[in-house]
């Protein structure tokens, strides 16, 4: 897997009266980054931009993302949007196998089948192998879609609210899997404790502005309070909201 560095030289995305404005952020290959911020702060907009869906000065190893061909981008970036239900029904195995499409041009080899089987085992969803996606619970669907995203074996993994609807046990399992990847992982999350406990870096947004980008364990209570417009309390090295 190619090691990929990301440089956000200038991100400027506007619609209506909202402006996402971020400059000079560098993410090294393999780092795990949590995007935090209240609803409407620009988390999804930033992930869409990182995925190359708008023309901005974001570089992967000195290449502008939006100028890459779709096939080339798919070889470098895998992206799971927040809302990503499947309109066509497939078994869990066949759906996770589709993560290999960008690598195989749609002609799946024995190695793709083997890798997909390994992914099912890693995610603990082997028992769902022959179930149709439509028959799964919301949390199970989310786990399967993350498995499909990881099966793409890209150097950069983008996830928008990946743990939405997932129970505590499976959330912890997913976090351990994400931490074990050699890929750069950038995910929007709502749980501040998860961001601090499992991610290397935090990118904190407030109404499209960058409030903080740095080590997760160095973020201050004051910044958390400013970002969310709340009063937080530190309890056992975690944030308690009220």
Distance CA 235, CA 13 (A): 37
Q: Count other Cβ atoms within 10 Å, centred on residue 158.
A: 24
Query: Which segments of the chain have a pLDDT < 70?
Result: 85, 236-242
Q: What is the DSSP string of 86-124?
A: -SS--BHHHHHHGGGHHHHTT---HHHHHHHHHHHHHHT
- Cβ atoms of 47 and 20 within 8 Å: the answer is no
pLDDT score of 85: 66
User: What is the CATH number that goes with domain 6-241?
Assistant: 3.40.50.300
pLDDT digits (tens, 9 = 90+) for 77-100: 999 998 876 777 899 999 999 999
pLDDT digits (tens, 9 = 90+) for 134-175: 999 999 999 999 999 999 999 999 999 999 999 999 999 999
For β-strands 201-206 and 238-241, DSSP reports them as: unpaired
pLDDT score of 241: 46
Whole-number CA gyration radius for the chain:
18
Q: For the chain, give every domain's residue range.
A: 6-241
Burial class (CB in 10 A: 0-12, 13-18, 19+), 191: middle
pLDDT score of 99: 93
Nearest to 40 by CA among 205, 194, 235: 205
Q: pTM score > 0.85 for this model?
A: yes
């Amino acid at each position: 897997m190619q090691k990929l560095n990301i440089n956000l030289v200038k991100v400027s995305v506007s619609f209506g009266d909202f402006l996402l404005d971020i400059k000079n952020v560098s993410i090294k290959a393999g780092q795990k980054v949590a995007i935090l911020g209240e609803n409407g702060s620009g988390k999804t907009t930033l992930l869409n931009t990182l995925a190359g869906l708008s023309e901005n000065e974001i570089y992967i190893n000195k290449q502008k993302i939006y100028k890459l061909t779709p096939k080339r981008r798919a070889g470098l970036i895998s992206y799971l949007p927040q809302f990503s239900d499947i309109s066509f029904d497939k078994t869990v195995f066949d759906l996770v196998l589709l993560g290999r499409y960008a690598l195989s041009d749609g002609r799946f080899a024995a190695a793709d089948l083997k890798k997909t089987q390994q992914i099912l085992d890693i995610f603990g969803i082997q028992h769902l192998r022959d179930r149709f996606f439509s028959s799964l619970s919301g949390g199970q669907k989310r786990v399967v879609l993350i498995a499909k995203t990881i099966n793409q074996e890209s150097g950069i993994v983008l996830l928008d609210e990946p743990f939405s609807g997932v129970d505590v046990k499976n959330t912890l399992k997913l976090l351990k899997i994400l931490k074990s990847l050699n890929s750069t992982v950038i995910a929007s999350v709502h749980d501040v404790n998860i961001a601090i406990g499992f991610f290397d870096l935090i990118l904190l947004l407030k109404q499209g502005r960058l409030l903080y980008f740095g080590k997760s364990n160095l973020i201050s209570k004051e910044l958390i309070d400013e970002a969310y417009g709340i009063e937080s309390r530190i309890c056992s090295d975690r944030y308690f909201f009220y």
